[in-house]
Structure 1
Amino acid sequence: MANEDTICLRCRLRLLASASRSAAHPLFPRAHTQTRSLRSFAAVANTSQCRRFTTAPSRSIEAPEASKTTSDETLPPQAPTPSTEESVRAARRLHGDTLPKGYLSEEEYAVYERLYGPPIFTEEADLVEDEVELAADEVEGEEMQDQVWLREGEDGELEEVELYKQSDELADEALEEDYESIEGEFVEAETDFGDSAPELIKDYHQDIYEKTRLAEAEADQDAEDLEEGEEFMRAHPLTVAGRFATSPSTLHLPKEKFVDPTAAILSQASHKHITQAALKIFGGPGLPQSASTARASEGKEQKTIPLDPSQEEMSSIQSNTYMAAVMPGVYATSMSTIVEVRRRLGTAWIEGLMKESGPLILDAGSGGAAIVAWREVLEAEWKRMNESSGQVSQEPAPLGKATVLTASNALKLRASRLLENTSFIPRLPDAIPHNHQAVKGQQRKVYDIIIAPHALWPLRQEYHRKEHVQRLWSLLNPDGGVLILLEKGLPRGFEIIASARSLLLDKHIASPDSTEYENSLQDQLSETKNVPRFTKKETGMIVAPCTNHSTCPMYTIPGVSQGRKDFCYFSQRYIRPPYLQRIHNARDRNHEDVQYSYLAVQRGRDQRKPKHDIFGKGFSQGDEATEAAFKGHEFVKDGESSDKEVADEPEIETNVNALSLPRLVVPAMKRRGHIILEVCTPSAKIERWTVPRSFSKQAFRDARKARWGDLWALGAKTRIAKTIRMGLPRNEQHKRPKRKMRSQTIEIGVNPSGNVIPDGMKLKKDGRLVKDRKNSKTGRKGRKMSEADFYED
């Protein structure tokens, strides 16, 4: 302290802030005692075996007891033990240059002074706080003494303006620096722990997960408060109705119903073994063969998830690995697609499913993760229904009955701890024939919603995938059942989803221009099948993501393509649970963006007809819908407005079904003065729509806020067609088809004497052979050759 005047003010401020942390003053809540903020150190504060990790308050209590038992006699000096030196280093990392009085014993203090020199002792938190404020005021005064703002008063004289905002920012920056230093100390301390304290690392990730969840909740609440303010410019109603992402956009896995039960199951096994198995099964660091997708720049091979719930043989460690590494990503993608289906089908659809005992749902590929996501949606809808009706119902939401396809007994045992009122089946039921008539008392079970994540790619042959899709379709409720197919957001995953889409459109879902299909000649000639030439299609429609029922513009050539650059996929961000964060060994980023391709179809209902339209008037898709969307639905068109319309303000359009709008297939490209939206139109074309600032103030504002997957309703000024890069087609055996050899014509010249004219020679009219002196490679001319040179032989 004697050299205090020679230390700069900023260093003094940093030292005093460190001293304040040691004193555990409420000014620095992250250093408060008996909290999880100390992460690694607080986890073992009550253990006697790891004395070097004890917290400051506990050491301050133990020090007086140690002083009572110490003899007044001078003991001979002893060599410091490793535990003593480690305790000193831990105290240095925790408190920095400062040290509370009585924190270290005499032996430890001697080692501390030998290693780091005399510390700065702290005694009372109040004194430290006063010094911090004084130093901050001095720093503020020095930095602001050269900055003077003047303004003109009412009398025309200039008067000085005091700046308070900048001083507050300086104080905030100082606090942030202190927090960052604390964070660095904890990370360094945790790095030193290594494998000796796995529980400390577990507590660290759990603490990060909890704090991130709370921070996201506060941020979402602040955003809602901002939107409710008077100065907030609200989005157009059709823009809000066409939004794709969940709210909030970053998903938090349900802690009580998913994260905690899974963590309890995984705690029975060694985390080291789970991590090693996950890296081995799912392709190494980053787990590219799990529900996650590797970056295209890494150039990794496209592969499906090696573990499948339909596998009969799955060991305990494989089941734990599947729950830890695959289920979180599958939950996120399932939740995203379910929310989108709920938005497109409207409130009446899901309220109808919650009548009586609830819906029947089949999970055919996620091992139960999709069931958890579906029930979260049902509970949210149940809560909304009670709030809108003004009733406070104590009854639980009617979740219905769930069925999960799980052939492995090990995975079935673990999934049963997450789900209630759920049946587990080892394989899918047989397909129900189209003209099946149920026998009295033996009616086949059909499902209101079927979710099949990552169920088609593991099937190697294309005809197996078609049979699987047709079986799932037959198990749907013919009066509004919904089928959701999910695959990884890779070119091959998109091709599998697009192939299933083509199958459903060709043979099952009817459209105004296609109500029946022709059976194959082999089936028509078969005596056992007795199949007619034409078969009528069923009523149904594509719910998402397509807003057309034509051939997919990105899948015009069926089959596998090599080098595909453009394909339809989407992204969902979620917060990793602590056990998955530990598998990734990640300490700086605890969220993940999982990419997926999907298809949602409904059987038995078609919203294009007035009977099933949420607005009751029906709509059309195709070129007509595309032209209307390009012009924009910002205001009600002439002749359709109501009598309440004000003369100066046109009425805003709201009654437009979002399924007649184009969808953004990539994130919006923001440029200066204009926004470029790459959309898939209702006429089944990929186009780029440009929305400049001069087009519409509301449209430009909403275009800047548009997100990947949104449906766009406010039009554009210009549009151009996008060239799709679909790569080169390949056959089922992943081999390039043989190219046809081009026919080439080779001319052979013969002179009058019957000799063949050599290449590069010319035959003149007089019968002489002359070679062109110009070299075709270099362009230079050589020596003119005589006729004797050609007939020397």
Structure 2
Amino acid sequence: MSGPVHVQSDGEWQSLLSKNSVVVADFYADWCGPCKMIAPHFERLAKEHSRPNKVAFAKVNVDNQANIARTNGVTAMPTFVIFHNGSTVQTIRGANPSALTEAVTKAVALADGGKAEAVFKTPGRTLGGDGPVPAQRHWSVTVLLNVVMMLVGLYFTSLFSARRGAVHVQPEETAAIAGEAGSGWRTGASGQCPTATTETERCFSTSKAALQEPSAIPGSQSAEDIEKVVREAKQRFRDTLPKGYLSVEEYALYERLYGPPLRETAPEDVGIPTHADMEGQVTRLSDEGTLLRELEGGGFEEVIYRLPFADGEAEEPSISEQLSASEAAVEAVEESLSYIDAVARNPREHEALQRLMQDFKAAQKKQMEEEIVAARAEAEAEQEAYEMKEEEGEVLFDEQDPASPGVEMQVLSGEARRFHPYTLQGRFHGSPVEISLPQTSFVTPIRDLLDRTHLSHVKAAAEAAFGGPGLPTSPSTPEGKKNGQMGGVGLPPDQRHMTEIEADAFLAGFLPPAYASVTSVLREVRRRLGSDWIQERLKRSENAGLSVLDAGAGGAGLIAWEQILNAEWDLLREKGEVKGTQPPGRKTVITGSDRLRHRLKSFLHNTTFLPRLPDYEHSGEMQGEHLDAGDKPQPRKSYDLIIASHLFLKEKQDHYRQAILNNLWTLLNKDGGVLIVIEKAHPRGFEAVAHVRDTLLKQFLLPQNGEPGTPAEELNPAFHREREAGHIIAPCTNHGTCPMYKEAGKSKGRKDYCYFNQRFTRPTFYTKMLGNSSNTQGDVEFSYVAIQRGHLKADQRPGWKATEQAFAGYEHSQESPDMQTLPRMVLPPLKRKGHVTLDVCTPEGKIERWTVPKSFSKLAYHDARKSHWGDLWALGAKTKVARSVRVGSGVDDGGKRAEGGKKPRKVEISMDGGRLSANEKNARKERRSKGKRDRQTDLIKEILEAEDLEEREIEREMDGEVEEELRLEEEEEEKRKRRR
């Protein structure tokens, strides 16, 4: 017998239904706790009852196969659906092993030739289901005997409990138990029980056991019963306990075994917030509508849209109406299968968990009230401020004002009403500024992978790999950890060998900030190039899509790219220009470790994994000699987008960086391919990015119109190549020398460098890696450059001319500016009373300070105060001054910094009292005073050195005298010879 079949596509699902007479399908989700609990039971049933071409068991992941789930009306997990000849005959919702076993037994009878009407007479109402409830019950002798025995047992038990004063069975309880034919939910001794036959029998048996066990009666519990209760409480609530959960005897044993509990149990301790979605869905507000859009496969998808409130129609629902809708949603959930019903093992646990769930709902309701009140107050204050400005004649921007040419005559709201359109187009950050990491495709899969190991071990491994607490050598460096951390990332994705715990540490500590930085850069590239850059490739006849290479981001770049690509694909689908649910294209990621690759495969679908960068620069043409090649050369792989994160900083030598750049440029598509280089935000990271930019401008790209070319003598003949068209997309608006990188190489004492910031929402596992679980707001700083190959910049004006036009401003200009010719803010704006100072990098290649006073323009002043670091500025300024850039001094500039900051040593020798003494003029001052013994040692040393110096001086004088005597003797000898 074979096990269940995991359905991977719609075609496989249809094939399974057509080939088998009976199909039992398990619709599950990876995050669903009850799904995991009942999965082994479903596996056993599949192995026992599977028959080739007759009975098949299938598992369908609702997250991956949403179309199949929608077609079969799956709204809760787990849901078991039995198909006979392709038609649904029974549906079971919830983790109910007995009901599932009974249904499978009936389904097997169908495969043997039975009829569905005879086998499944009355499906009944399953746990959490919505099937029809039978009007009358079919009684049997066995059922009657069971009911009679229960009534007799309840009678004697009530008499016994009346004497002991323990359990009091109310008349309505007995009536509820006896009235088995009723419908809905009944309250028994063990909680709530559904009316389905199997669930009723299980509930009655639980009630009977609860009433007859001695452990249910205080004073009659045995030591084994007390120990069982205590151990179950420890398993369920860990180091906490609900208030009043244990009796005096039980609590005494709990303290003796485990010590006192740390605190009272909170809903988070038992996973209630994580599984609160099992309690049902919240009712939508009255300003939302629903449409069903037909898909290509014949199914439908649900589309939610907001209904605008026109004049004369009903206004937005009030706070009380919204809260009443939420309360109604909570009440409607009571009839469905809940998380508590699935995990509670006894009535005591069920009651305690129910109280915790009520506390959680009350806290949620209070939070919802506060959020609604705060949002309403903020909206009213904003509207009141705007109306006040309208009355005073200070409307910031009106789309119907004829003084604002180039703007469509339409009434907008929100930011479009308060800001100039060019200000909105030039923004670097989105709205909102903070990026939320995608839950389904990113956060949830990583969290599931990390659940296999305790996070404390992952945190220790992450700190060992990324430089200690705070992870300073990860893509995001904390504010207090920047000093001395000038290297690359501690654990790159192309590292060949990783242990299991290191691979988990990479997922937890590297991917979240890497995703935020790549997303920020991709959004900027998309704004500057426009949607046509993506949509044109998606609409091509060959429908090949876009190919992307993630070289350094470890898969985070691919997740970020999918968010942008899917948005463009949805726009094209709405226009009817493309068909299909998924955009075409190729995705490739560089991962050196097998352990990391296996983890990334679980959530990076349809992705090619490479252990290193392919090297096509030194390879020959693929033709003729190969079996799979024809006469024509085979086209080499090229990528429309290459995300090179943290590749250059780790290389210390310039020629290594040059080799990587040459390889990446070879892989880039010649017709509009985009290369993005990202490094960490510190002087060394900026210098690595600036070196790439400088090399591309000098050796790879043709000079732009009005820009000077590089002299031939500055080119390296080893890397000389034919220049081609291309331009810098962002962040630079000039194609000359970077004003912060005028001299190539490292620079000591650099204070000013180009980098940017992106805020993102930290997932829970990432905050635990940082050791601060309360702060969910993170920031990542990075330096980057984005270049497009094969296309020149649209505006070919010289940089000085573009700067002059930008300084004059485009607020009332007839000409629409090219956003890539506007100055960019390289620092946060300085806001003062009556004026704003902007530090910008101009298209001319200079760092200047532009001042925008209120007298210059009310709109420009308003937008300048609301601008952010990294924005492009189009509204001009009143004054500008050059700003000095603190770039430090190079290593080989010959100054004192290049020599390590040390002055040359000078020793002065003097004669004092008939003895020589040596004194060093530039000697370093001692930080600590010397002791008596040290002073004596120094004095003796000084005396010995003076004596040695004096002896050498005496020897030198004596040598001089001897030489003088010899010279005189030689002269005398010469005179005597002459006389002869």
Please report the TM-score for the alignment, with normalisation by the length of structure 2: 0.50
Please name the residue that 2:523 is paired with: 339
Aligned partner (choices 568, 574, 578) of residue 754 of structure 2: 568
Alignment of 1:555-704 (within 5 A): 555-607=741-793, 613=794, 618-637=795-814, 655-704=816-865
Give ranges in structure 1 of 5+ residues lacking alignment.
1-33, 35-45, 47-56, 116-167, 169-199, 608-612, 638-652, 744-793
Q: 1:716 aligned to 2:877?
A: yes
SS at match of 1:250: coil
Please name the residue that 2:129 is paired with: none
1:28-72 per-residue CA deviation (whole Å, 9 max, x = no partner) reads xxxxxx9xxxxxxxxxxx9xxxxxxxxxx9999999969995899
Aligned partner (choices 294, 316, 335) of residue 500 of structure 2: 316
Q: Does the CA-based 8 Å contact 1:294-1:300 persist in structure 2?
A: no
Q: 1:468 aligned to 2:660?
A: yes
- 1:361/1:258 CA distance change after superposition, 3 Å: same
Alignment of 1:397-408 (within 5 A): 397-408=582-593
Q: Does the CA-based 8 Å contact 1:63-1:104 persist in structure 2?
A: no
Q: Does the CA-based 8 Å contact 1:668-1:707 persist in structure 2?
A: yes
- The one-letter amino acid of 1:689's match is W
Q: Distance in 1 between matches of 2:215 and 2:452?
A: 44
Report how far residue 386 of structure 1 moved. 2.9
Alignment of 1:176-575 (within 5 A): 229=413, 233-295=417-479, 299-354=483-538, 355=540, 356-387=543-574, 389=575, 391=576, 395-432=580-617, 440-511=632-703, 512-513=705-706, 536-575=722-761
Q: Could you say which structure has the larger radius of gyration?
A: 2
Q: Distance in 1 between matches of 2:414 and 2:743?
A: 52
1:219-255 per-residue CA deviation (whole Å, 9 max, x = no partner) reads 9999999896489843111111101113332111111
1:729-778 per-residue CA deviation (whole Å, 9 max, x = no partner) reads 2269x9953499999xxxxxxxxxxxxxxxxxxxxxxxxxxxxxxxxxxx
Q: Does the CA-based 8 Å contact 1:517-1:536 persist in structure 2?
A: no
Report how far residue 496 of structure 1 moved. 0.6
Q: Does the CA-based 8 Å contact 2:737-2:845 persist in structure 1?
A: yes
Q: Distance in 1 between matches of 2:560 and 2:650?
A: 23
Report how far residue 303 of structure 1 moved. 2.1
- 1:58/1:565 CA distance change after superposition, 3 Å: farther
Give ranges in structure 2 of 5+ residues lacking alignment.
1-32, 34-94, 96-187, 193-205, 254-259, 261-319, 321-352, 384-411, 624-630, 905-980
Identity of aligned residues (%): 39
Report how far residue 567 of structure 1 moved. 0.7
Q: Does the CA-based 8 Å contact 2:698-2:715 persist in structure 1?
A: no
- The one-letter amino acid of 1:426's match is P
Q: Distance in 1 between matches of 2:603 and 2:213?
A: 54
Q: Distance in 2 between matches of 1:430 and 1:471?
A: 6
- The one-letter amino acid of 1:261's match is P
1:250-275 per-residue CA deviation (whole Å, 9 max, x = no partner) reads 11111111112222222233323211
Aligned length: 559
Alignment of 1:723-734 (within 5 A): 723-730=884-891
SS at match of 2:514: helix
- 1:259/1:735 CA distance change after superposition, 3 Å: farther
Please name the residue that 1:24 is paired with: none
- The one-letter amino acid of 2:805's match is A
- 1:410/1:676 CA distance change after superposition, 3 Å: same
Q: Distance in 1 between matches of 2:737 and 2:514?
A: 28
Report how far residue 108 of structure 1 moved. 8.3
Alignment of 1:119-158 (within 5 A): none
SS at match of 1:556: coil
1:689-748 per-residue CA deviation (whole Å, 9 max, x = no partner) reads 11111111111111111111100000111111111111232269x9953499999xxxxx
- The one-letter amino acid of 1:472's match is L
Q: Distance in 1 between matches of 2:727 and 2:618?
A: 20
Report how far residue 311 of structure 1 moved. 2.0
SS at match of 2:813: coil
Structure 1, 321-330 or 232-241: larger mean CA deviation? 232-241
SS at match of 2:503: helix
Q: Distance in 1 between matches of 2:433 and 2:828?
A: 14
- 1:75/1:728 CA distance change after superposition, 3 Å: same
SS at match of 2:418: coil
Q: Distance in 2 between matches of 1:426 and 1:71?
A: 62
Q: Does the CA-based 8 Å contact 1:619-1:660 persist in structure 2?
A: no
- 1:550/1:221 CA distance change after superposition, 3 Å: farther
- 1:221/1:557 CA distance change after superposition, 3 Å: farther
- 1:220/1:382 CA distance change after superposition, 3 Å: farther
Q: Distance in 1 between matches of 2:858 and 2:787?
A: 36
- 1:107/1:571 CA distance change after superposition, 3 Å: same
- The one-letter amino acid of 1:573's match is R
Q: Does the CA-based 8 Å contact 1:675-1:703 persist in structure 2?
A: yes
Report how far residue 515 of structure 1 moved. 7.8
Q: Does the CA-based 8 Å contact 1:362-1:450 persist in structure 2?
A: yes
1:110-147 per-residue CA deviation (whole Å, 9 max, x = no partner) reads 99xxx9xxxxxxxxxxxxxxxxxxxxxxxxxxxxxxxx
Alignment of 1:90-169 (within 5 A): 105=247
Please report the TM-score for the alignment, with normalisation by the length of structure 1: 0.61
- 1:741/1:74 CA distance change after superposition, 3 Å: closer
Report how far residue 337 of structure 1 moved. 0.6
Q: Does the CA-based 8 Å contact 1:312-1:407 persist in structure 2?
A: yes
Q: Does the CA-based 8 Å contact 2:621-2:633 persist in structure 1?
A: no
Structure 1, 655-664 or 577-586: larger mean CA deviation? 577-586
- 1:404/1:353 CA distance change after superposition, 3 Å: same
